[in-house]
Amino acid sequence: MRQIAVYGKGGIGKSVISANISAALALAGKKVLQIGCDPKHDSTRLLTQGAQITTVLDYLKVTPPEACRLGDVMATGFGGVACVEAGGPEPGVGCAGRGILTTFDLLERLGIDRLDFDLVLYDVLGDVVCGGFAVPLRRRYADAVYIVTSGEFMSIYAANNILRGLQNYDGELKRAGGLIFNRRGIEDEAGRVERFAGAVGLPVLAAFPRSDEFSLAEAEGTTLVERCGDSAIARTFKDLAARLLERSELFQASPLTDPNLEAIVLQNASPDALPVLAAAALKEKEDAPGDPDDLVAGDRPKRQFLSKNVLLREPLHGCAFNGAVNVTVQIGDAVTLAHGPRSCAHISYQTISSIGRKMFFERGLLLPVQLSPPLVSSDMNEGVMVFGGLEELKGKIEELKKYDPSAVFVVTTCPAGIIGDNTDAVRDPAGLGGIRVIPVKTDGDISGDYLQGVITAYMDTARALIKRDVRPAENLVNIVAEKTIASNTEANFETVRDLLAAVGVSVNCRFICKTSLREIENFLRAKINILAYEDYMGRTIRDFLQEEYAARFLRRPFPVGFFETERWLAEAAACFGREGLAESVAAEHRKKYRSALRKLRPLLENKRLLIITYNHDIDWILETAFDLHMEIAKVCILNYSQDNLFRTRFRDRFELAEDYDPAQRESDLEDLKPDLVLANYAAPAGAACTDTIPLCPAAGFFSGLELAERWARLLKRNSTEGWRKDEALFSRYYA
Amino acid sequence: MKLCSQDITPDSLSGAIFALEGIRDAAVILNGPTGCKFYHSAISDSQFPRGSSFDPLAYPEQFYFGQPRLPATCLDGYDYVYGSADKLEQILPAAAKGHRLAAVVNSPGAALIGDDLKRLAKKALAGLPCVVLESTGFSGYFAEGFQNALLKVLDCIALERRRKIPGSVNLVGISIYHKYFAGSIKEMKRLLEMCGIEVTAVLCAGDRLRDLQNLPEASLNVVLYPEYGLELARRLYERYDTPYLASEEGPPIGFQATEHFLRKVAGSLGADPSPALQALDRGRAACFQHLSRFHSLTGLPGGNAFSVKADPSTAYALTNWLSSYLGMIPAAVETTQCGRSEFTGKLAALLAGAGLESTLARPVNATAADLVFADGATIAQLKTRHGNCCGIEIALPSLGYIDVAEKSLFGPSGAMMMVEQILNALRFL
């Protein structure tokens, strides 16, 4: 069996030529299958007397997988030619390329490759526009690729692009069969095609003139070969068909560069002389940057709030969809609708509920959002991928009304983004259609990493809900940017809430953690905002709220360790005129802190500490270590997706390695000989003891002290744990 | 707002990944974003750990992102436009090194862009067999993704029909995503060995490629969880002429279903089931002693209300056993989405026979019961509403308990473990 693919620019006559080739072969007694790979599904129309056949994709829409039969999508046309049309979505929706992939999957599953054809002809839409339309180029489908072109420049341009696609697949392999010239009657047409053919090293296998014979046949819904089989054009088709079948010589795809193509085909300039307008404009700007204020309003770039991964073009950690979902589910009276396949919602569901289950199991803590997140999946399926999923999405939103939510957040996944589902079409923040719908367009990781999703969700939620006419009330603060998947989020909140209560201040809204629509709407009731973490995410969300809502922030985030907590409390109290209260709270804790230091110092004094960590703020550890008279051998800061700003008030008191290379760990252990290694994950550390540092430390006066108590216990031991010697046994029995 | 808490189960993507991750010496590479990688990597590593270290610095940031399993190409928005070929060319040789089989799985997004994985894998992995899954389906059933992936593995390793070794079986239809899969397999092997039956391969939870290569030699394919193995067994019959057997009583959970299972397998192979049945009797005897004492003190467990949430065959076997052996009463029986299963109808008939068909319409996470047999998430949800109940985990996700001692859901070991948990759960009701 021979398989060929016929490509060419849209509207160039591929389908007419393909159908005539199939008809010519059928007349020669050959068994032919023609598969139209174009959403407009008219490839085989001239073989079926103009009758439309059920497209594979329309068929799949209404037929359960186990009920699919090849005969339902394969019609018999002129001369017994088997005809299949892939079909596809309406223009502007869904993903036609995915449709081609789906069609080929189904045909293969139904055993089309087991049918005995002499020739299978794939008639493929226009240019090689994406991987889906390139499927017929794959070697298991097409033995040879032929390109239909006229002398119009855009047609030749498309032909050259098809050769690029083929080159990407084949490298130096030879699968290009040649060009089929379909005349349009423009000036120098044959010259253009011949020059192009010569430059790319392909033969022109046949040339078809403009002729009324084509239009007359088309008007009757037949091929020219069928209608006037003895005409000169019909004979050309028969010759061409015979050549295609007899495995004529094949060539390597050797496309031209764009400038060369233009120079050769149009003969109007040398490649070097062609202007590159955008680059020139850039150059001009470089030479004379000028004052940014000179820019007219439309030119001024809008401030973007980007995650570190996105800003620095780093590999993405997690996906924005997941980050956004983890935020929006925190609004307890709203439902989050994950627009995507179930796997995406499942992964988010597990991310959210994992902490809830463990906290419940180990500590008996009930975290309602983490145990029963208000999350629903739109369950996008194969049909939606091809035809678009907006109608299904609207139906799903309607279904959610039964829960009586205050709002529905629609968060998009990669597939929703790739097929271009426009969720703005369901946007309804005022709830005019009976339910408030707030799209959060993360498009999986297309818009960025987990952190970008968190930032996007904060911004979209704020813009949709925060009421700008709300006036501040006394003694209220908002807590901003808590980490919802940390295990100590609630404990830290309670610590800070209690500290605030001690100075007479209450929490207005936890933005966005265990909150409600109403609390977010009234965000501006709080006079002051307090960041939970001043890491990259915290700083970005603070910048956003300051810029768009003129929000005032306390200078320090949730305090960790004695020094920070003392200062933080003083500052918070000062904001509300309660300085005296803060000092009495601090004095009480200071006494306890000093007493604990006195007990620990004999055990930890002069011990050497090596710290290798992702945390970019470890002053709470350093402070305790210095207060205990420990020696800091080195602090090694690893590259971390969630922060990029190492900050310390002890800068000159230890050796610091930022952007630390983990490969250096062994030699550092060897050279520095620490007594204790602190890291986020305990790893083998030679003779040294190891302990872990939490990525999200506990807030409050005693965070460092609590770790130091563990160090003292660890260093008191004289022996290595027995289990450490059993790695060989693990390898023997389990690895 | 009314409570909106839906069970979002894993789909065909997870089924495919965990099928391939179940092959001990396979390198499974995800062509997709890390958003699809982290979860699957974490579950695979916790269910089926193959390395002793969890030091993230030992697993490079590129591809592994600090996790031991499932290296990924980390696709981003640019790759969806320009294709993933460059990243695949980089990752494939590095990730496949030292493995017997490579498998490349497209994430749902990657499946839409149509990269020719087969060609790229062939180019990058000279000579190493490589399974390519361009699309695992979108929102398909886990069981479907699981079985389709295994069929692709069999296509890839191109096995021939072979002469059958008498008295040998393959265990079909169990994955590393099944709770206590390793202990359950060990228990099955122990019981079958007692009958003189050897297990050639397990599809697909922990075996090596060379074990799978021997699977055409087995005389019989024994289906454990029918939803995950029946279709596969049918296809194996077409390919290798290996007959298959799935017990009408469901998986060997509880004493009756195990007995039926053992008699049927032994009967099919002309083997003697007596030694295994004796082990089963010993289990019954041990349970009797505890049940008898417990009963004389409390009158329980008969009459206690229980709920089950599981795949239809597991729900059927458990409901049947808990009702008939322990005299407990179903309060809610909920089946998970896993495609067509003949046990859906059997379960309905079983409950209808006891006048309890309404239990099928009740959600387990909202129905009061003394005991609930389900995944950890459902148990936790029920406890938030009806605190006075006890949960026994039979499926993932877990509540978080780390099992060091190997446990089984199958055979006498499984039955004894469940009786033990039931007795410990009911003492202060």
A221-235: per-residue pLDDT in tens? 999 999 988 899 999
Mutation target to probe the A interface, by most A beta carbons within 10 A, among B3, B7, B8 is: B8
Confidence of residue A270 (pLDDT cuts 50, 70, 90): low
Measured between beta carbons, the chain A residues lying within 8 angstroms of B112 are 95, 97-98, 101, 132, 385, 414-415, 418-419
**Contact check, Cβ <8 Å, B108/A414:** yes
Domain end residue (candidates: A440, A465, A490):
A465
Closest in A139, A357, A681 to B399, CB measured: A357
Residue B261 within any structural domain of the chain:
no
Does residue A296 carry a pLDDT above 50? no
Mutate to test the interface with B, among A95, A170, A343 (most CBs of B within 10 A): A343
List, for residues A82-125, the tens digit of each pLDDT value: 999 999 877 766 677 778 888 888 898 888 888 889 999 999 97
Task: Decide which of B154 and A60 is more confident.
Answer: B154
Q: Is residue A301 part of a domain?
A: no
**CB contact B83 to A (< 8 Å):** yes
Give residue A637's domain range. Answer: 592-722
Are the C-beta atoms of B357 and B388 separated by less than 8 Å?
A: no
User: Do B218 and B181 have their domain in common?
Assistant: yes
Whether A600 and A703 share a structural domain: yes
Chosen from B39, B99, B106, B155 to mutate, greatest number of chain A CBs within 10 A: B39
Which residues in chain A have their CB less than 8 angstroms from residue B383's CB? 360
The closest of A412, A390, A129, A449 to B77, measured between CA atoms, is: A449
Q: Where do runs of H (alpha helix) occur along A228-319?
A: 232-245, 258-266, 277-287, 308-311
Q: For residues B316 and B347, is the Cβ–Cβ distance under 8 A?
A: yes
A96, A132 contact by CB (below 8 A): yes
Query: CB-based contact (8 Å) between B272 and chain A?
Result: no
Residue B70 CA to its chain's centroid (Å)? 19
CB A324 within 8 A of CB A348: no
Pair A444, A321: CB distance under 8 Å: yes
Same domain, B150 and B220: no
B289 with B420, same domain: the answer is yes
- Same domain (yes/no): A220, A245: yes
The whole-number pLDDT of residue B298 equals 85
Please give the interface size between A and B, counted as residue pairs whose CB atoms are below 8 Å apart.
Answer: 226
Structural domain contains residue A145: yes
Quote the CA–CA distance of B101 and B26 in Å, as a whole number.
5
CB B132 within 8 A of CB B122: no
Amino acid at B287: C
Look up A272 and say whether it is catalytic.
no
CA–CA gap between residue A354 and residue A236 (Å, rounded)? 69
Distance, in Å, from the CA atom of A115 to the CA atom of A35, rounded to the nearest integer, reads 14
Q: B241 with B188, same domain?
A: yes
Cβ-defined contact of A319 to B75 (cutoff 8 Å)? no
B100 falls in which pLDDT band (50, 70, 90)? Answer: very high
DSSP string, A686-729: TTSEEEE--SSPPPBTTHHHHHHHHHHHHHH--S--GGGGGHHH
Residues of A in contact with B14 (CB under 8 A): 343, 346
Quick one: A524 and A597 in the same domain?
Answer: no
Closest alpha carbon to A462 in A523, A529, A406, A546 = A523
Residues in chain A within 8 Å Cβ distance of B76:
315-316, 445-446
pLDDT range class, residue A734, cuts 50, 70, 90 = confident
A333 with A414, same domain: the answer is yes
The reply to whether A256 falls in a domain is: yes
pLDDT at B104 over 70: yes
Min Cα distance B409 → chain A (Å) is 21
pLDDT tens digits for range A7-20: 999 889 999 999 99
In angstroms, the separation between the Cα of residue B267 and the nearest Cα of chain A is 33
| Other residues' Cβ atoms within 10 Å of the Cβ of residue B196 | 16
Residues B147 and B208 occupy one common structural domain: no
Q: Which residues of A touch B56 (CB under 8 A)?
A: 680-681
Residue B246 sits in the same domain as residue B178: yes
State the Cα–Cα distance between residues A146 and B304, nearest whole angstrom: 74
**Is residue A415 located within the same domain as residue A539?**
no
Q: Are residues B170 and B152 in the same domain?
A: no
Q: Hey, is A251 helix, strand or coil? A: strand
What's the pTM?
0.85
Contact yes or no for B271/B244 (Cβ under 8 A): no
| Binary contact (A376, B4; C-beta < 8 A) | yes
Same domain, B369 and B295: yes
Eight-state DSSP code of residue A301:
P
A160: closest CA among A8, A52, A13? A8
Report which of B381, B373, B387 is spatially closest to residue B421, judged by C-alpha positions: B373
Residue A54 domain-assigned (yes or no): yes
Interface test mutation site (partner B, options A342, A411, A637, A690, max chain B beta carbons within 10 A)? A342
Q: What is the pLDDT of residue A299?
A: 46
The whole-angstrom separation of Cα B105 and Cα B17 is 7
**CB B8 to CB A105 under 8 A?**
no
pLDDT range class, residue A297, cuts 50, 70, 90:
very low
Domain presence at residue B270 = no
If asked whether residues A453 and A485 sit together in one domain, one would say no
Question: Where residue A227 sits, what CATH number does that domain have?
Answer: 3.40.50.300
Query: Taking residues B347-358, what's their average pLDDT?
Result: 96
pLDDT band for position A298 (cuts 50, 70, 90): very low
Residue A291 lies in a domain: no
Q: How far is B254 from chain A (nearest CA, A)?
A: 26
B264 within a domain of the structure (yes/no) = no
> Do residues B154 and A175 touch, judged by C-beta distance below 8 A?
no
Domain termination residue (choose one: B237, B252, B267): B252
**A385-407 confidence digits (pLDDT tens):** 888 888 999 999 999 999 999 99
- Tell me if A101 is assigned to some domain: yes
Q: Are the beta carbons of A132 and B113 separated by less than 8 Å?
A: yes
Note which residues in 145-204 of chain B have CB less than 8 A from chain A: none
**What residues have CB less than 8 Å from A269, skipping those under 6 apart?**
A262, A263
What element of type H or E holds A118?
none
Read off the tokens for B40: 């699957």
Asked if residue A679 and residue A546 are part of one domain, the reply reads no
Q: What are phi and psi of A416, to 5 degrees?
A: -60, -40
Q: Is residue A262 part of a domain?
A: yes
Asked about A14 being catalytic, the answer comes back as yes
pLDDT of B6 > 60? The answer is yes
A525/A596 same-domain check? no
Name the residue of chain B whose CA is nearest to A369's CA: B5
Given a cut of 90, whether residue A606 has pLDDT beyond it is: yes
pLDDT tops 60 at residue A282: no
For B230, the token pair is 């029946």
Left (φ > 0), alpha (ψ -120 to 50) or beta: where does B281 sit? Answer: alpha
* Cβ separation B384–A335 shorter than 8 A: no
| Residue A187 and residue A214 in one domain | yes
Both tokens assigned to A102: 């789906």
Residue A554 Cα distances to A628, B35, B166, angstroms: 30, 34, 77
Pick from A511, A433, A518: nearest CA to A467: A518
Residues A244, A4: contact at Cβ < 8 Å? Answer: yes
Which residues contact residue A86 at a Cβ distance below 8 angstroms, ignoring those fewer than 6 apart?
A35, A36, A37, A38, A39, A41, A55, A56, A57, A99, A100, A103
Query: HSE-up of A525 (CA within 13 Å, CB side)?
Result: 15
Residue A364 pLDDT:
87
Is residue B262 included in any domain, yes or no?
A: no
Asked if B339 has any chain A CB less than 8 Å from its own CB, the reply is: no
Q: Is the pLDDT of residue A281 over 80?
A: no
pLDDT band, very low/low/confident/very high, at A640 (cuts 50, 70, 90): confident
Give residue B57's pLDDT.
66
Q: Kindly state the tokens that stand for B275.
A: 């030694």
Point out the domain boundary residue: A435, A465, A495. A465
Per the domain annotation, does B266 fall within a domain? no
Residues 6 or more apart whose Cβ sits within 8 Å of residue B388: B368, B370, B429
Task: Say whether B9 and A342 touch across the interface (CB within 8 A).
Answer: yes
Q: What is the model's pLDDT at position A277?
A: 59
Q: How many residues does chain B have?
A: 429
Together in a domain, B93 and B198: no
Domain end point (choices A558, A584, A612): A558
CA distance A23 to A224: 9
In CATH, what number is assigned to the domain containing residue A502? 3.40.50.1980
Same structural domain, B146 and B174: no
Give the domain CATH number at B197: 3.40.50.1980
Q: How many domains does chain A have?
A: 4
Domain contains B371: yes
- Of the partner residues B6, B85, B139, the one whose CB lies closest to the CB of residue A381: B139
Q: Do B5 and A381 touch (CB under 8 A)?
A: no
What local confidence, expressed as pLDDT, does residue A295 receive? 43
The verdict on a CB contact (< 8 Å) between A415 and B57 is: no
Contact B140, B14 (CB under 8 A): no
User: How many Cβ atoms from other residues are within 10 Å of residue A719's Cβ?
Assistant: 5
Burial level of B418, CB count in 10 A (0-12/13-18/19+)?
buried
Between B42 and B82, residue with greater pLDDT = B42
Percent of chain B with pLDDT over 90: 82
From the CA of A152, how many Å to the nearest CA of chain B? 27
Q: Quick check: B113 and A735 CB within 8 A?
A: no
Please give the residue of chain B at the shortest CA–CA distance from A318: B35
Q: Is B310 helix (H, G, I), strand (E, B) or coil?
A: strand
Please answer yes or no on whether A318 and B38 come within 8 Å at the CB atom: yes
The lowest-confidence range among A483-487, A629-633, B279-283, B357-361 is: A483-487
- What is the rounded CA–CA span in Å between residue A438 and residue A181? 52
Cβ contacts (< 8 Å) between B145 and chain A: which residues? none
d(CA B368, CA B381): 11
N- to C-terminal Cα separation, chain B: 33
d(CA A521, CA A436): 13
How many domains, in total, are found in chain B?
Answer: 3
Residues B170, B149 share a domain: no
- Asked whether residue A564 is domain-assigned, the answer is no
Model confidence pLDDT, tens digit, residues A394-446: 999 999 999 999 999 999 999 999 988 889 889 998 888 889 999 999 999 99
Handedness of CA B110, B115, B119, B123 (dihedral sign): negative
A294 — pLDDT class (breaks 50, 70, 90): very low
pLDDT tier at A682 (50, 70, 90 boundaries)?
confident
Is there a single domain that holds both residue A9 and residue A45?
yes
Sign of CA dihedral B211, B213, B214, B219: positive
Q: Give which of A414, A610, A664 to mutate to test B binding, by max B Cβ within 10 Å.
A: A414
Strands A476-480 and A2-8: unpaired
Question: Is B376 within 8 Å of A375 when comparing Cβ atoms?
Answer: no
Subunit contact B401:A400, Cβ cutoff 8 A: no
CA dist A465 and A550 (Å) reads 16
Task: Return the structure tokens found at A428.
Answer: 């309804």
Task: Determine what percent of chain A is predicted with pLDDT higher than 70.
Answer: 93
**Residue B85 confidence (pLDDT) above 80:** yes
Least confident of A163-172, B349-358, B399-408: A163-172
Residue B202 has pLDDT above 70, yes or no: yes
Range(s) of the domain holding residue B245: 165-252
Q: Residue A594: exposed, middle, or buried by beta-carbon count in 10 A (0-12, 13-18, 19+)?
A: exposed
Same domain, B312 and B406: yes
Residues A262, A342, single domain; the answer is no
Indicate whether A390 and A518 sit together in one domain.
no
Nearest residue in chain B measured CA to CA from A96: B112
Question: Does some domain include residue B114?
Answer: yes
Alpha-carbon gap: A344 to the closest alpha carbon of chain B (Å): 8
A379 to B139: CB separation less than 8 angstroms, yes or no: yes
Q: Pick left, alpha or beta for residue A434 (phi over 0 → left; psi -120 to 50 → alpha; otherwise beta).
A: left
Helix (H) or strand (E) holding A412: strand A407-412
Per-residue pLDDT at A88: 84
Q: In sequence order, what are the residues at sequence separation of 6 or more whose Cβ sits closer than 8 angstroms to the Cβ of residue B404? A: none
Token pair of A499 as six digits: 């500290």
